Every structure is written in structure tokens, then in C-alpha cells.
Amino acid sequence: MTAAISLDNARPLDAEPLDAKPLPVANAARVGVLLVNLGTPDTADAAGVRVYLKEFLSDRRVIEDQGLLWKIILNGIILNVRPRKKARDYQSIWNNEKNESPLKTITRAQSEKLAASIADRSHVVVDWAMRYGNPSIKAGVDGLMAKGCDRILVVPLYPQYSAATSATVCDEAFRVLTELRAQPTLRVTPPYYNDGFYIEALAVSIEDHLKTLPYAPELIVASFHGMPKEYVDKGDPYREQCVATTELLRKRLGMDDTKLLLTFQSRFGFSEWLQPYTDKTIEKLAKDGVKRIAVVMPGFAADCLETLEEISGENCEIFKHNGGEEFSAVPCLNDSAPGMEVLRQLVLRELQGWL
């Protein structure tokens, strides 16, 4: 079928030619990439930690039951007691030169190195943010839009998905969009727990670290951040993805489940969390006669309080107090060359169609 063509507005053949000058070209739109990690206090004192903990523990994704009892516990007990202790922990790892936590220092470096690695895509702008604390996701989105980005790729820096980490990044990113009349188009990178570049980077980081040690570990503990067992029972895929990462890492390193153990750290409160617990496992290993171990934290994209203080500090002390002799924590991928290749490949893959 041929469409009808209206000749009502057709130009006569002897009409003057149209102006041949080209129309002005609008500025080419840019694409933003926003790396997002968990968060950190702005200051390493009780006041700074209190502000951070209040925001973190008031998130329904983190503590699902935000009822009256929890609010009484949070505001009446936790925020009056825990900040002082946690402030001392932060002070023990604080980057005093920059007056910030290592998590901020490393995430900024990851952003800068990622930008440099894709600098040939001149219309791509890379920035970073924290889910809790500063710089906020709102500041990140606003900043990218101010630089002309009408499309933004949000990159939650969590290899394994959980509602308490990846999902809450999405919640906040889309909440920020609800405040905007002219919204950018948003994409979110998927979890990369089984990505080949990620597994290879983990394996290389472990192998390189072990070469620096004056001893050979009898086994390696892979410690992931824990979560209440109830959350997994409700359908959170986090544990399943931690298991998959560990199994792939075992295969790559040529180890079995007696040489590369899977554990979960950082439990909080009185409910049952994912097991086996890292601290209890390390205590038992020492009591059973294991003298030399190394610990790797595959679920953390950057070193932070949970890796630098909880593992390298507290768990090292637990191991040695119970008869262990040699303990070493493998640094997270951070802004190392293998770690940056993971992020580069992830971002380039998810930007397809926008580049």
C-alpha cells in the first residue's frame, strides 16, 4: 500500500532555494559512569561515626524491621554506645594525610584510573560516590548531569549481589531521579561474582601476595561479609553467589574445600547470620593446630574497616591468641592493575550501545 502524500505545502518548482546554511549542532551528549561503594564516616570521631551509623542502620534494606523496638534500640543504645568504639577502630586505619578513610582514598583512585583507562572515549565522564556518607549518590548524579551527561551507568562495587548492598544503591539512585524533571537515562551494572576477569584478578592477587610471604600458608580462608540468614531464606541470592565465586576460585587455584575455606564475617545483633562465621572458624583452626593461614576477602572491591581492622586486626589476634603463628590478609583488588581491568571490562561491556 502506498501512503498518500499531501501536496498542500509543496514548494513550486520556481521557488527560491532553501537556505543552505547548516543548522547549529547541539553539544554532543556525554555518558556518565558512577562508581558506588558502601560508605564511610566523614570524620574518625564519635560524632562522625554516629551520623554514618544512623544513616546506614536506618535503611530498610540493611535492617528490614524498622519498627518501634528497633528505633528504640538504635537511638537509645546503639548510637550512644557503638560510635565511640567504632571511632577508635576507624582511627587505627585512618588515612591521616588526606584525613579520610582508606575506602574513600581507594574509591577515588579507582575512579581516576578508570577514567584514564578509557580516556579515548572522550565523551565518557567517570565519578564516584558512597551509598552512605559523602560524596553522596545525589551529588554524583548532579555532578555528572552538570557535565552534560544524559545517560549514566551506575556501578555498585559489590561483586556479589545482595538487597542490602546492590539493591540499596539502586534504591537511592532512582530516588534521586524522582526529584528531577529532566531525568538522565540510567543503567546499572549486574553483579560480577562469576566474571572471568574478576576470578582471574582474585587468583593473581592471591598468588602474588603468597610470593611475598616468608612462609607457605597451610590453607586460605575466603571471608565474605555476612548477612542475617533470614534474608537468604526470603530469597536473597547473596550466599549462592559467594559460593559460586569460591568454587570458581578453587578451580582456578587448583584447591579443594579443605585448602580454600568459605566463611562469613561482620555479624551484628543476636539473630543467626550466614555460617560458618569467620572468627569462629579462625579460632577453631588455631585450636586444631593450624599454624599458618592467609585470608582473602573476595566480596570487597576495596580495603575498608572490615578488611583492615576486622580481619587484619581482630581476626589475626584471635588466631594467634589461640595458638596460630603466621597470619596474613591478602589486600583487596583496590586500584591494582588486575582490579582496574575488572572494572574496565565491566564498564565497557555495560556501556555497549552508548559508546
Residues tagged in the binding site annotation for Fe(2+): 225, 306
Using left for φ > 0, alpha for ψ between -120 and 50, and beta otherwise, residue 4 falls in beta
Closest CA relative to residue 304, chosen from 113, 46, 40? 40
Query: What whole-number distance in Å separates Cα of residue 198 and Cα of residue 173?
Result: 25
Which segments are annotated as binding site?
A: 225, 306
- Beta strand pairing status for 326-329 and 292-296? parallel
Torsion angle in degrees (nearest 10) through CA of 97, 102, 106, 108: -60
Q: Tell whether the torsion through CA atoms of 96, 317, 272 and 225 is positive or negative.
A: positive
**Strand, helix or coil for residue 225:** strand
Q: Which residues contact 242 (CB under 8 A, 6 or more apart)?
A: 160, 193, 224, 262, 264, 298, 299
Query: What whole-number distance in Å separates Cα of residue 263 and Cα of residue 250?
Result: 14
The one-letter amino acid code at 255 reads M
31 DSSP β-pair partners: 124, 151
| Grid cell listed for 38 | 558502601
Do 316 and 122 meet the contact criterion of CB atoms below 8 Å apart? no
Query: What whole-number distance in Å separates Cα of residue 223 and Cα of residue 310?
Result: 11
Burial of 127 (0-12, 13-18, 19+ CB in 10 A): buried
The one-letter amino acid code at 181 reads R
Residue 85 sits at φ, ψ, to 5 deg, of: -65, -45
Total residues belonging to the chain: 355
Number of CB atoms found within 10 A of residue 276's CB:
13
